[in-house]
Amino acid sequence: MDQANDRLMNIPQVSPWLGQEEIEAVSRVIASGWITEGAVAAEFSARLNDFIGIPYGVFAPNGTLALYLGLAALNIGPGDEVLVPDITFIASANAVVLAGATPVFVEVNRDNYQLDATQCAHLVTARTRAIMPVHLYGMSANMAEIIAFAQRHNLLVIEDAAQAIGVRYRSQHAGTFGQAGCFSFFADKTITTGEGGYVVCHDRAIYERLLQLRNQGRADRGSFIHPTIGYNFRLTDMQAAIGLAQLNKIDVIIERKHNIMDWYRRKLRSVPQVHFLAIEPGSDYIPFRAILICENAHLIERGVQVRTFFCPLHRQPSFAYLDKERGGVLDLDDAHYPNAVFGYEHGISLPIFPALTEDQVCYIAATIRDFYVASAN
């Protein structure tokens, strides 16, 4: 068994996988003289639509604004409530606030911490317009249950697929089940453009609203007549060039993530205190992070950047104003979110970026094993 304590490694939580392809792609764009959103972005968009299997998609400057754009295109705004899982990156709920609506936090399940549609019915009111499933940590939420729930309650579905490019549920890509689906290309996502977001939809009318909202209220450039209010949500062709280079190697990125996850599983199999997430039936698993339920095992002291789960939204200081006691509409007591609290208090997030080596995974696993051996003595 490897000994962790004879050396000290420095292992970051995330590290984007960029190389010569991206450097050359950006250089070509700069040399071309056209650096704003143009032909390269159009090509990236066409390739994304093809990969995801959807007719329409538009870029946004980042995933947060992609979610905002999707919500706004669905006419969700002041007076509306949107169901959001209690465990997610806070941007899911912040986008709802940016659209002028109110996020309502829904408990997650204990198997894989995805939104639990069996626990939302009591939260639906006359103001509830939409549900925002988040495909968390590299797998899909239970979309069969969520779509059935949405249909039962006549809700729109806007999917936060920021962490889920490449993830399919029953052979259908995450983000394509509802009226709109949103992706992020931040540096820690499966493919990156540095900053970047993407909104997809099936419906031509929603697509046209997306186009207007992202382009100062008009469908095309070159005209100064603006039928509606809109903004500037463009990307640059430099970012799109990076995105194309990344999309070209997404299969390799996914394969590497699968291999790394296998190493984690094999090297931690002998530690009964360590539990992995249950993979949602019917879903792919392209781990966004290596998520374990176990103690943090002094990993930080050993040079490994470990994180907790995302902090449950009901506990966020920024959302305390939503509590009934403060005049809001929610009861934010921990008692309503036992699974989210359990995940937050017992879950850890380990690195799984494509360049992570087997030696590094060995070191992390040995550190965890040594911790449990030492605490048993």
Ligand X SMILES: *Cc1c(COP(=O)(O)O)cnc(C)c1O
Footprint on this chain of ligand X (rule: CB under 6 A) = 62-64, 88-89, 91-92, 134, 160, 162-163, 184, 186, 197
Report the distance separating Cα 276 and Cα 263, nearest Å: 13
Which of residues 63 and 347 has its CB atom nearest to ligand X in the complex?
Answer: 63
At closest approach, how far in Å is the CB of 194 from ligand X?
10
For the beta carbon of residue 249, count every other beta carbon within 10 angstroms: 17
Report the distance separating Cα 255 and Cα 270, nearest Å: 24
Report the distance separating Cα 269 and Cα 274, nearest Å: 8
Cβ-based neighbours of 101, under 8 Å, separated by 6 or more: 71, 76, 77, 78, 79, 80, 81, 82, 129
Residue 144 in contact with residue 115, Cβ under 8 Å? Answer: no
At closest approach, how far in Å is the CB of 150 from ligand X?
19
Which of residues 160 and 237 has its CB atom nearest to ligand X in the complex?
Answer: 160
Cβ-based neighbours of 95, under 8 Å, separated by 6 or more: 64, 65, 67, 68, 71
| Residue of minimal Cβ distance to ligand X | 63
At closest approach, how far in Å is the CB of 89 from ligand X?
4
Cα 32 to chain centroid distance, Å, stands at: 33
Which of residues 62 and 176 has its CB atom nearest to ligand X in the complex?
Answer: 62
Which of residues 56 and 288 has its CB atom nearest to ligand X in the complex?
Answer: 288
> Can you state the angle between helices 237-248 and 20-32, rounded to 10 degrees?
150
At closest approach, how far in Å is the CB of 61 from ligand X?
8
At closest approach, how far in Å is the CB of 42 from ligand X?
21
Which of residues 196 and 230 has its CB atom nearest to ligand X in the complex?
Answer: 196
At closest approach, how far in Å is the CB of 94 from ligand X?
9
Which of residues 117 and 268 has its CB atom nearest to ligand X in the complex?
Answer: 117
Which of residues 107 and 370 has its CB atom nearest to ligand X in the complex?
Answer: 107
At closest approach, how far in Å is the CB of 66 from ligand X?
7
> Can you state the angle between helices 63-73 and 204-214, rounded to 10 degrees?
120
Which of residues 139 and 162 has its CB atom nearest to ligand X in the complex?
Answer: 162
**364 token code pair:** 């992390």
Which of residues 95 and 156 has its CB atom nearest to ligand X in the complex?
Answer: 95
At closest approach, how far in Å is the CB of 227 from ligand X?
28
Residue 39 in contact with residue 263, Cβ under 8 Å? Answer: no
Phi-psi region of 175 (alpha: psi -120 to 50; beta: other; left: phi over 0): left
Report the distance separating Cα 314 and Cα 219, nearest Å: 39
At closest approach, how far in Å is the CB of 44 from ligand X?
16
Alpha-carbon torsion (330, 335, 336, 339), positive or negative: positive
* Three-class SS state of 239: helix
Question: How open is the CA angle 216-219-224, to the nearest 5 degrees?
Answer: 55
